[in-house]
Amino acid sequence: MSDELLNTKEVARYLGIHEKQVYALIKAQRIPATRLTGKWVFPKKLLDEWIEADARRGLAQARQRSQRIDGAILAAGSDDPVLSLLAGALRRVDPGLVLFMAAVGSTEGLKALNRGYTDVAFSHLLDPETGEYNLPLLPKLVPDKPSAALNVFHREIGFVVAKGNPKGIHRVADLRKKTVRIVNRQLGSGTRVLLDGELSAAGIDAKRIAGYEMEVCTHHEVALAVHSGEADVGIAASSAARLLDLGFVGLREERFDMVVDRAAFFERRIQSLIDLLGSGPFRAQVSRLGGYDFRDCGKVLTREP
């Protein structure tokens, strides 16, 4: 099968679903597919466009539902284990506030903010030209929506491996080992951008990495794939490894930011979220996970809204 056409097994792996579900989507005419010599094939370009359109529809529907809930904050973008703690902590300190989070990756989160689908986008996109996170990419990804960027935390990110690191994975070049299978993140996620940048810098062809096509959407899913033995390694936050008692090999510290619609910045719900991030009890809860630094938390990285 060519790189441009996928078969049903490849689509199932690409979407992270069972092959029977692919046939159900074909029957319901919900997925772009065509018959070629009696077999179903899927143009990858059309499949990627379908995935993006489906994500946009989901965010638009969530936007409509959230507008019917007083105190709702709709967020999209990068995933981190801390965000689920944040949602729970927000409800405890103010039962009138609800944080809805869509883990669609940094790129799609920023695009969703630009379209007005969300109030907040979480992002850790590294600009390879400047070495700066997020800010250089806002003019391209959020050109139409006035926004303000604030730091949430700095975090450790690196290779999640089995306990004891039995495959001896210490650097990007080790991903080329024939005995090593990776679990990848979805296109547009900051972690995928990081991996692709590291592979390019090392002169490694991504197509030669076993498991490169196996994509998941969260750090927890990366850790679960390693924990279950489905993969030997994946890139995720160190906290995801600790939660499942896995091994971890650090790659770098990265900056994780929150980009906010300026029209909503001074609303009570957004200010309550920012206040919570800087609170002692919440930071103490996160510190038990390890791998986070709040030294710049709440710092406005763009000019004041």
- Residue 61, pLDDT score: 56
The CA distance from 131 to 157, in Å, is 16
Residue 57 in 3-state DSSP?
A: helix
Q: How many CA atoms are closer than 13 Å to the CA of 268, on its beta-carbon side? A: 7
Residues 43 and 18 in one domain: yes
Strand 147-161 relative to strand 120-123: parallel, antiparallel, unpaired? unpaired
Task: Please compute the mean of the pLDDT values over residues 31-43 and round it to a whole number.
Answer: 79
Distances (CA, A) of 226 to 113, 122, 161, 184, 199: 32, 25, 6, 11, 20
Residues 112 and 166 in one domain: no
Tens of pLDDT, residue by residue over 240-258, are 999 999 999 999 999 999 9
**Average pLDDT, rounded, for the chain:** 87
In CATH, what number is assigned to the domain containing residue 277?
3.40.190.10
- Residue 5, pLDDT score: 80
Number of domains, the chain: 2
Percent of the residues in the chain that have a pLDDT greater than 70, as a whole number = 90
303 in any annotated domain: no
Q: Which domain holds residue 60?
A: 5-148+257-293
